[in-house]
Structure 1
Amino acid sequence: MQRVVSNLCNLLCSHYEITLISCYKANETLPATYNFPTNVKIIYFNEIYPDFKLDSFWDKVKFSYRINQLLPNGSKNILIVNNLLYPFFKKKNTIYIRLFHNSFENAYKKYLYKKPLFPPRIALFDKLIVLSSKELNHWQKLHKNIEVIPNFLPSIPKESSPLQSKIVLSVGRMDKGDQKGFFRLVDIWEIVQKDSRFGEWKLHIVGDGLLKEQIEEKIKAKNLQDSIILKPFTNQIEQEYLQASIYAMTSLFEGLPMVLVESASFGLPQISFDINTGPSDIIENEKSGFLIPDGDLEGYAEKLKALMQNQNLRESMGKRAKEIAQEKFSKEAILLKWQKMFNN
């Protein structure tokens, strides 16, 4: 989330006066690490209010009141909230916007039943912003003023993968719950490797997390350790994209998976399960890659093999993938969406 906030500040600071309010200064190096612009003012809420907490409803009400005290007087303000705050109090000439980065089905649907006050609290905002058009039908039941504005890439690389290596790439956290679906990716790769035509191909999985040892154990149990390479997280992920020929995603759920956007920007054809939200906003089925019915491991393996055996197909799909990254997820395209919303 810090990277998303940093990117958004960098995008908007040349056009608007930006103040970033962070509840805590959890990391002393955060501004430098995430490259916040020097003209963005950063306020750490707990330094101003050391008694800050959100344990009770009244703590949340007090938080709302105090946030408003920090907003400038005598000017038009737009307050964009990612989490924690509900605008129980509203300041004059201020628009309150809630930004949702997770999918409704997997992050928020449960609140409709567990927290009956969730819908009326959402209604307090003047506008909601979601990442995917597929989220609209869920949120429109709770709010009538919703915009779809996806995340963006700060820059589109000039380089593209030559798509000649025999490497399939997948990137993600190996967290509890296996959100990225690496266990089923191993199962898919086992199907692929039963075809002797693809014995020279390698699957590179880049990431770290609690499940890494279990994933390694599964790879060994299936005797795939020679063709599946687990690599640690790296800040030089661009090199991984440039060395690969196909990007494979097997997530169980997503909001808007930026790894798909990033891999597209390097001209990689992509394959993913067509889960509720995310991949279908990025992949044009059979044009820039393949969308597979969720859970169809055999179908996934067949389309993956189709890409592996056909470089012309990889090149045509990779070309379209890069065009999509530029058209839909460049900073220029997304800036226009933010400006249009602010002007309205």
Structure 2
Amino acid sequence: MEKINIFLKDITESGGGERVCINLANAFSKKYEVEIFSFYKSFEQPAYELYKNIKISYLSNQNFYHANKIKKIFLKTFYRYFLSLLIILKFKNAKNEILLANDGYFLPFFKNKKLKYFRIWHIKAPKKKKKIFDYFDTLIILSAKELDKWQEWHKNIQVIPNFLPFASSKTSNLSQKVVLSAGRMDKGDQKGFLRLIDIWEIIQKDENFKEWKLHIIGDGLLKEEILHKIQAKKLEHSIILLPFNKNIEKEYLKASIYVMTSHFEGFGMVLAESASYTIPSIAFDINTGPSDIIDNKKSGFLIEDGNLQEFANKLKILMQDESLREKFGKNAKEKVQKEFSKEVIMKKWNKIASF
């Protein structure tokens, strides 16, 4: 049996990249031997369910979560190169195996020609080519939106979106007055939760929507700042912060609308997941991600990036029209089932994984 080795920063963290990695590992394990190599270990267990036939190897027990910024940068850089070298040495005599980098931590600066080296690029394309691209035989991007740029940088680019790990038979009834958003609350505010609060402030100035609640699921270093902003705007009665929970399905089933206010995304898995529960979405039309999943004015709304007032206006339209929510939600589910099912996406992976 051929083997696929997956490398990432920290399998115990609860982010979108980690969830995609575990979904992919579980799918691969039905056909291949799979081992996950985690550079770090911040918590005791992986954040998401992993099949029992998949082996996990922790390359370091270092936890930099509470280290100061300078120390964190130094240690992570040192361990990144040191552990990459250990991996290179470990696989120097291997053959017919795939080394799949889920993020930028594994750097195969020396390669074994009997192996395949893949790298998934989860975010938008950088402004210019990076040297690390040349370390890999194949680069996997999630959207075709920037394919021309990528093809200038590397000879073997594959477009393979993330897949829905399961097809739920459950659907939201779309009658509850709950708007949902979820994601990691990192210091850079990639998910745009701070501007989501500004949008919700606009909504709450309208008496027609006072009964509606905004549920935000997530954890991270920005959570305290998010809470302070909610309190400063006196929105704590209508914005509910919820901790990350492995059973996110129950939160989807409570929601009638999903909102994404990210500044950048590679794909936007939560949009596909919410669509699978027939929930319509609204998102800023950033470079890649939302426009691959949302058909504007058919399964949700795409908003000019940064236009908070227009985002609020479209959100109000969906909040006050349950029949429109049902129409958009039905279209959303049909689209993701057709384009992002596990069966459709794994055919693409199996094609490039075969020796």
TM bin (shorter chain): 0.7 to 0.9
Question: Residues 81 and 230 of structure 1: is their aligned pair in 2 closer, same or farther, counting only changes over 3 Å?
Answer: closer
**1:193-241 deviation line (CA, Å, top 9, x unaligned):** 2222222222222223333333333333333333222223323321111
The residue number in structure 2 matching 1:236 is 247
CA deviation profile, 1:7-58 (whole Å, cap 9, x unmatched) = 212111222233434445665544xx644434434455569xxxxx973998
User: What is the identity percentage for the equivalent residue pairs of Structure 1 and Structure 2?
Assistant: 54
Q: Using the alignment, how far apart are the partners of 2:352 and 2:83 within structure 1?
A: 28
SS for the counterpart of 1:318 is: helix
1:296 CA drift (Å): 0.8
In 1, are the aligned partners of 2:40 and 2:58 still within 8 Å (CA)?
yes
Q: Which structure's CA Rg is the greater one? A: 1
Q: Which residue of 1 aligns with 2:158?
A: 147
1:321 aligns with 2:311: no
> 2:135 aligns to what SS in structure 1?
coil
> Which of 205, 222, 233 matches 1:222?
233
DSSP 3-state at the match of 2:283: strand
The whole-number CA distance in structure 1 between the counterparts of 2:41 and 2:228 is 39
Deviates more, 1:273-282 or 1:228-237: 228-237
Distance across 1 between alignment mates of 2:256 and 2:267: 22
State the SS of the aligned residue for 1:141: helix
Q: How does 1:47-58 map to 2 (within 5 A)?
A: 55=78
Is 2:57 the partner of 1:37?
no
1:134 partnered with 2:134: no
1: CA distance, partners of 2:81 / 2:321: 61
Deviates more, 1:166-175 or 1:132-141: 132-141
Gaps of 5+ in 2: 1-16, 62-75
In 1, the alpha carbon distance for the partners of 2:351 and 2:182 equals: 33
- In structure 1, the residue matched to 2:89 is 66
**1:298 corresponding residue in structure 2:** 309
Unaligned runs of 5+ in 1: 48-52, 113-117
The Cα RMSD (Å) is 2.8
1:80 deviates by 1.7
Report the residue type matching 2:218 in the other structure: G
2:94 aligned with 1:78 = no
Structure 1 residues 153 and 70: CA distance shift in structure 2, 3 A: farther
Match of 1:94 among 109, 115, 130: 115
Code of the aligned partner of 2:78: D
Map of 2:13 onto structure 1: none
- Counterpart secondary structure, 1:225: coil
1:314 to partner: Cα distance: 0.2
Deviation at 1:96, TM superposition (A): 1.8
Letter in 2 for 1:271: I
1:251 matched to 2:267? The reply is no
User: Alignment partner of 2:291: what SS?
Assistant: helix
Shift in Å, 1:257: 1.8
Equivalent pair of 2:80/2:106 in contact (CA under 8 Å): no
Tell me which amino acid in the other structure corresponds to 1:37.
Y
The answer (yes or no) to whether the contact 1:273–1:292 under 8 Å persists in 2 is: yes
Give the Cα separation in 1 of the matches to 2:42 and 2:199.
Answer: 40
Are the counterparts in 2 of residues 54 and 60 from structure 1 also a CA contact under 8 Å? no
> Which has the higher mean CA deviation after the structures are superposed, 63-72 or 240-249?
63-72
Q: Distance in 1 between matches of 2:218 and 2:134?
A: 38
Q: Give the conservation status (yes or no) of the 8 Å contact 1:288–1:316.
A: yes
Equivalent residues, number: 324
1:254·1:277 contact (CA, 8 Å) conserved in 2? yes
- Cα distance in 2 for residues equivalent to 1:243 and 1:145: 43
Residues 230 and 55 of structure 1: is their aligned pair in 2 closer, same or farther, counting only changes over 3 Å? closer
Superposed counterparts of 1:111-122, under 5 Å: 118-119=130-131, 121-122=132-133
Alignment-mate amino acid for residue 236 of structure 1: N
Alignment CA distance shift 1:218-1:9 (3 Å) = closer
- Give the aligned residue type for 1:68: F
- Is 1:10 matched up with 2:26? yes
- Going from structure 1 to structure 2, the CA distance change for 1:306 and 1:88 (only over 3 Å counts) comes to same
Task: State the Cα distance separating 1:187 from its structure 2 match.
Answer: 1.5
Q: TM-score, normalised by structure 1?
A: 0.83
Closer, same or farther: CA 129–226 of 1 in aligned 2, 3 Å: same
